[in-house]
């Protein structure tokens, strides 16, 4: 059999030979998109897409992306430390009917969206770090040191209605050095083999538990794992030009429009998630004449419009605007770095003091490899950072902030806590009250914040 230049798919079919039936479907998951649309996706070793059965009626899924190896393009790695990206499986998809009660792909049930989401798991920064430029090679072969699968299992046991990933799914960019047993023989680069090892296999318990909302991180920009991101995770159609295959189209592929995921009405309150793509936000400020500044300005204008559609909004992107990062100096001192200054500069053009629209009451971000919760006595949304999903952790910050330290000039911090314990968050919705909790990988609650009526109360060191 020949599929897009590959002589055989038998090696991939062999991976499934231990199952009770000769399934060619390797992975299936559900992505939440705009306007409440649920999209079921599957990866298959077959030449055609599998059948989707919805309430007893079967229809073949549509091909989203063929099996192929992409020509090598310029990446964040040097030319000698990169290679063409191979995707030897087809990616298939189909829209789930809004009224569907049961759905199966290749005989296996898929998780369905609820009319009101009340238990939401949040994770971020989950892959196993292998990066030559930083001489950073995590022990991907050691389940005690790279524990994303354990996090996924524990989070799935919470029986969520929805899962949010805040970006940075993919970390194995460069080959493991000779003699390093911690990552020896690990796949590397930007093709499917890394996506399988870094995400699809370890995340399987959570992929089976609930639909997902996929936020894009800087590791999924076009010069890194953007090709896989567009093939597998983004809820919108897969189209030429924004697929990250050609470097000359990166200004299209690197910037995608914000959108909302409805959470339903509870206690008379409507709620939604606002998903924002900050994958190409630099660490330093952009000039107003930069093309990216204009793009982000237009996108934040759309965020204002989107926020008006619900009473309670949770803004989600990869880079925290109202959180902190740590800089640990040689003398042992710690510097608190403020939120992303590029985002702040753009957002100030619309909301000089608050940064966010009035109906945004919480912000979820990753990027900083810690959990953190920052609430304010000033009129700013509470910032949560959930970048502790399994990749190499950052050093923690002191929970006692130095005087006058703030993530943004007009924000007055009321509560700050952080942890570099690997783990996840759980959002529980109880009518118009929101409980945001951070758990470690064993399921111990570390921090809990209660949000209601634009006020936040946080407590720490909980069991």
Say what the alpha-carbon torsion angle 271, 318, 259, 312 is, to the nearest 10 degrees: 20
414 pLDDT band, cuts 50/70/90, is: very high
pLDDT at position 15 is 39
User: Locate tokens 């389940």: which residue?
Assistant: 143
pLDDT for 20 beyond 60: no
Structural contact between residues 242 and 256, judged by C-beta atoms closer than 8 angstroms? yes
The per-residue pLDDT for range 27-67, each reduced to its tens digit, is 999 999 998 899 999 999 999 999 999 999 999 999 999 99
pLDDT digits (tens, 9 = 90+) for 175-210: 999 999 999 999 999 999 999 999 999 999 999 999
> Looking at residues 60-84, what average pLDDT do you find?
96
Instruction: Kindly report the average pLDDT of the chain as a whole number.
Output: 93
Residues 272-303: pLDDT tens digits?
999 999 999 987 788 899 999 999 999 999 99
Mean pLDDT of 405-429: 96
Q: Where residue 334 falls among pLDDT bands split at 50, 70, 90? A: confident
3-state secondary structure 274-306: EECCCCCCCCCCCCCCCHHHHHHHHHHHHHHHH
Q: Which of 185, 187, 186 is nearest to 228 (CA)?
A: 187
Q: What is the DSSP letter of 198?
A: I
Q: Assess contact for 424 and 155: CB atoms under 8 A.
A: yes
Spatial distance between the Cα atoms of 170 and 225, rounded to a whole number of angstroms: 7
* pLDDT above 90 for 461: no
Average pLDDT over residues 2-24: 43
Residue pointed to by tokens 């229809």: 59
Residue 404 has pLDDT above 90, yes or no: no
d(CA 87, CA 192): 5
Q: How confident is the model at residue 331 (pLDDT cuts 50, 70, 90)?
A: confident
Give me 26's structure tokens: 């390797």
What is the pLDDT at residue 2? 34
Instruction: Kindly report which listed range (2-11, 320-329, 341-350) carries the lowest average pLDDT score.
Output: 2-11
Question: Whole-angstrom Cα distance, residue 96 to residue 54?
Answer: 8
Tokens read off for 334:
């710690």
Task: State how far the Cα of 179 lies from the Cα of 423, in Å rounded to an integer.
Answer: 30
pTM of the model: 0.94
Are the C-beta atoms of residues 286 and 344 closer than 8 Å to each other? Answer: no
Report, as an integer, the average pLDDT of 219-232.
Answer: 98
Q: How far apart are CA 192 and CA 4, in angstroms?
A: 15
Percent of the chain with pLDDT over 90: 87
pLDDT for res 330: 82
The yes-or-no verdict on residue 351 having pLDDT over 80 is yes
Q: Averaged over 448-461, what is the pLDDT?
A: 93
pLDDT of 311 over the 80 cut? yes
pLDDT band per the 50, 70, 90 thresholds, residue 462: low
Confidence of residue 463 (pLDDT cuts 50, 70, 90): low
175 CB neighbour count, 10 Å cutoff = 18
**Closest to 439 measured CA to CA, from 458, 418, 425, 419:** 425
Q: What is the pLDDT of residue 16?
A: 40
What pLDDT, on the 0 to 100 scale, is given for residue 22?
A: 62
Mean pLDDT, rounded, for 353-378: 97
Q: Which of 207, 213, 211, 247 is nearest to 227 (CA)?
A: 247
Q: Is the pLDDT of residue 431 over 80?
A: yes
Q: Is the pLDDT of residue 169 over 90?
A: yes
């Amino acid at each position: 059999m020949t599929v897009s230049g590959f002589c055989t798919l038998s090696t991939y079919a062999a991976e499934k030979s231990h199952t009770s039936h000769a399934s060619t479907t390797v992975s299936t998951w559900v992505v939440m998109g705009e306007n409440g649309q649920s999209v079921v996706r599957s990866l298959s070793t077959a030449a055609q897409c599998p059948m989707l059965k919805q309430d007893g009626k079967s229809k073949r899924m549509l091909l989203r992306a063929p099996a192929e190896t992409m020509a090598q393009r310029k990446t964040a790695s040097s030319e000698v430390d990169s290679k063409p990206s191979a995707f030897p499986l087809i990616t298939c998809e189909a829209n789930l009917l809004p009224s569907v009660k049961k759905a199966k792909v290749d005989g296996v049930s898929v998780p369905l969206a609820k009319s009101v989401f009340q238990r939401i798991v949040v994770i971020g920064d989950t892959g196993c770090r292998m990066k030559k430029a930083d001489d950073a090679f995590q022990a991907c072969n050691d389940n005690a040191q790279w524990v994303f699968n354990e996090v996924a299992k524990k989070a799935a046991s919470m029986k969520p209605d929805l899962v949010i990933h805040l970006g940075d799914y993919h970390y194995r960019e460069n080959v493991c050095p000779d003699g390093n047993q911690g990552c020896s023989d690990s796949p590397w680069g930007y093709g499917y083999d890394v996506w399988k090892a870094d995400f699809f296999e370890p995340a399987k318990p959570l992929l089976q538990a609930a639909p997902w909302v996929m936020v894009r991180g800087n590791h999924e920009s076009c010069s890194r794992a953007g090709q896989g991101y567009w093939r597998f995770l983004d809820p919108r159609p897969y189209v030429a030009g924004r697929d990250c295959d050609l470097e000359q189209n990166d200004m299209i592929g690197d910037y995608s429009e914000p959108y909302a995921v409805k959470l339903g009405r509870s206690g008379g309150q409507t709620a939604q998630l606002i998903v924002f793509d900050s994958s190409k936000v630099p660490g330093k400020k952009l000039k107003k004449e930069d093309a990216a500044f204009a793009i982000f300005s237009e996108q934040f204008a759309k965020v204002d419009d989107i926020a008006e559609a619900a009473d309670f909004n949770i803004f989600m992107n990869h880079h925290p605007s109202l959180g902190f990062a740590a800089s640990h100096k040689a003398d042992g001192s710690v510097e608190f770095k403020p939120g992303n200054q590029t985002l702040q500069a753009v957002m100030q053009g619309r909301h000089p003091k608050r940064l966010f629209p009035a109906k945004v009451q919480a912000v979820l971000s990753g990027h900083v490899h810690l959990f953190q919760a920052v609430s304010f006595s000033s009129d700013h949304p509470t910032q949560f950072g959930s970048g502790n999903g399994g990749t190499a952790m950052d050093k923690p910050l002191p929970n006692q902030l130095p005087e006058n330290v703030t993530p943004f000039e007009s924000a007055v911090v009321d509560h700050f806590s952080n942890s570099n314990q690997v783990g996840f968050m759980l959002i529980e919705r109880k009518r118009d009250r929101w409980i945001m909790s951070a758990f470690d990988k064993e399921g111990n609650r570390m921090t809990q914040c209660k949000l209601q009526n634009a006020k936040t109360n946080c407590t720490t060191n909980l069991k």
